[in-house]
């Protein structure tokens, strides 16, 4: 399941919606910011800033900023509710995708098993058609069967050969579909 591309996409969407919900909820929390600023100034009539006798005057500022959201005209609550709905939809979509992948896998397995059984049946039908055609050929050369009967047996043999080849192709196609669902 984890190798399927569709599952990965929906799982990423689900994770994104979760973080969007957390972000929307965090907007109701108070924020505290702090800042520090330090600087030095030199007051001189000439450009003597690189000389060792230059006198420098330091200054520093330390501050805090606290924001407490009290009222946002229900905008924050509405955006939180929208984020929660989007997250719930993503969870539902994830469950739906998991079930679709399981269904595709079971259908692909069933089709593959059926194609193998059909291949076995057509193989035994081909063997039977070959034996019938050989017997009709012997009968024809012995004069016990007509050319029409021999021709009918040959047509049945060719049809059985064609069905056998089609069954082989069907097994290959069904195996490819199964591997596609499994991402192998």
> Does 50 fall in a domain?
no
- Residue 11, domain member (yes or no): yes
Residue 19 has a pLDDT of: 96
Q: Is residue 138 assigned to a domain?
A: yes
> What b/e readout covers 132-149, taking b as 16+ CB neighbours within 10 angstroms?
bbeebeeebeeeebeeee
Compute the Cα dihedral for 118, 124, 130, 131 and give only its sign: negative
Q: Is residue 55 part of a domain?
A: no
Q: What is the chain's mean pLDDT, rounded?
A: 91
CATH number, domain with residue 13: 1.20.1600.10
Q: pLDDT at position 13, please?
A: 95
Phi and psi angles of residue 68, each rounded to the nearest 5 degrees, phi first: -115, 110
- Residue 96 domain boundaries: 5-38+60-182
Distance of alpha carbon 104 from alpha carbon 112, whole angstroms? 12
Q: Could you give the angle at the alpha carbon of 104 between the alpha carbons of 103 and 108, nearest 5°? A: 120
Q: Is residue 44 part of a domain?
A: no
Quote the crossing angle between the two packed helices 5-26 and 75-142, to the nearest 10°. Answer: 170
Q: Give the residue ranges of the chain where pLDDT is below 70.
A: none
Sign of the four-CA dihedral 17, 20, 24, 25: positive
Is 30 within the bounds of a domain?
Answer: yes
pLDDT at 166: 97
The number of folded domains in the chain is 1
Residue 75: inside a domain, yes or no? yes
| Domain-embedded: residue 43 | no
């Amino acid at each position: 399941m984890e190798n399927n591309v569709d599952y990965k996409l929906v799982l990423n969407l689900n994770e994104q919606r979760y973080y969007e919900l957390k972000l929307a909820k965090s907007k109701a929390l108070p924020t505290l910011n702090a800042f520090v600023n330090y600087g030095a100034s030199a007051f001189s009539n000439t450009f003597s800033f690189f000389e060792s006798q230059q006198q420098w005057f330091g200054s520093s500022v330390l501050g805090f900023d606290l924001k407490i959201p009290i009222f946002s005209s229900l905008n924050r609550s509405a955006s939180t509710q929208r984020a929660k709905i989007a997250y719930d939809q993503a969870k539902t979509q994830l469950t739906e995708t998991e079930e679709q992948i399981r269904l595709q896998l079971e259908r692909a397995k069933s089709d593959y098993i059926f194609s193998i059984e059909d291949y076995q049946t057509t193989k035994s039908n081909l063997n039977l058609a070959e034996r019938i055609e050989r017997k009709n050929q012997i009968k024809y050369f012995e004069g016990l069967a007509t050319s029409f009967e021999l021709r009918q047996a040959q047509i049945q043999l060719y049809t059985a050969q064609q069905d056998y080849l089609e069954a082989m192709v069907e097994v290959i196609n069904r195996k490819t579909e199964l591997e596609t669902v499994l991402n192998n």
